[in-house]
């Protein structure tokens, strides 16, 4: 029930932010539509700790902040490579270890790798993630394990 209430709050907040209309009638219609959407999600049995991971809480928000910084830094590095007259591209395809214990943690890690410009997750296994990197430097940054440790910490398994 906690997940359903949290999902309702998130969806209704999103509806309020996107609609921009705050008359009593529209607020009521928004609440009814949001409640209907949550009821359908509950009937489909997708309101759980993986579908709506409220248990991750503030750790995830802090991780998103760090990831945003990494995305910006990687975008600058990729731009530097692409705009360079010699195009210093050295593509690499390797498997990096993944220390996350849950499927959700591995998915967050794989998606974080893909969101970071210059790297792409191609396969996820129990032990690692196969990654295509635009340069060896990008692969070395992943092999250093900072992102892996931070995802594990956001998941609640380690220190940030």
Q: Confirm if 99 and 155 have CB atoms less than 8 A apart.
A: no
- Residue 56 pLDDT grade (very low, low, confident, very high; cuts 50, 70, 90): low
Q: Please report, for residues 62, 73, 103, the alpha-carbon distance to residue 68 in angstroms, rounded to integers and kept in the order given.
A: 10, 9, 22
| Sheet of strand 128-133, all strands in order from the earlier edge strand to the far edge | 92-97, 128-133, 119-124
CA atoms within 13 A on the CB side of 9: 8
- Predicted local confidence at residue 54, as pLDDT: 62
69-104 pLDDT, tens per residue?
Answer: 999 999 999 998 888 888 778 899 999 999 988 888
Question: pTM for the full model?
Answer: 0.70
Task: Give CA–CA dist 92/120, Å, rounded.
Answer: 11
- Predicted local confidence at residue 52, as pLDDT: 59
Task: Using the predicted structure, report yes or no on whether residue 50 has a pLDDT greater than 70.
Answer: no
93-148 pLDDT, tens per residue?
Answer: 999 999 988 888 899 999 999 999 999 999 998 889 999 999 888 899 899 989 99
User: 94 forms bridges with which residues in the sheet?
Assistant: 131
């Amino acid at each position: 029930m906690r997940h359903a209430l949290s999902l309702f709050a998130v969806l209704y907040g999103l509806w309020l932010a996107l609609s921009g209309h705050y008359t009593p009638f529209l607020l009521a219609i928004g609440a009814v539509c949001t409640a209907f959407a949550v009821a359908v999600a509950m009937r489909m049995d997708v309101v759980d700790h993986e579908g709506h991971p409220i248990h991750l809480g503030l750790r995830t928000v802090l991780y998103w902040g760090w990831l945003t910084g990494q995305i910006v830094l990687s975008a600058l590095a990729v731009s530097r490579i692409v705009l360079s007259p010699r195009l210093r591209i050295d593509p690499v395809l390797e498997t990096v270890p993944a220390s996350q214990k849950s499927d959700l943690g591995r998915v967050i890690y794989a998606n974080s790798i893909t969101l970071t410009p210059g790297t792409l997750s191609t396969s996820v296994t129990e032990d690692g993630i196969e990654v295509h990197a635009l340069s060896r430097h990008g692969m070395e940054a992943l092999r250093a394990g900072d992102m892996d440790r931070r995802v594990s910490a956001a998941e609640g398994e380690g220190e940030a």
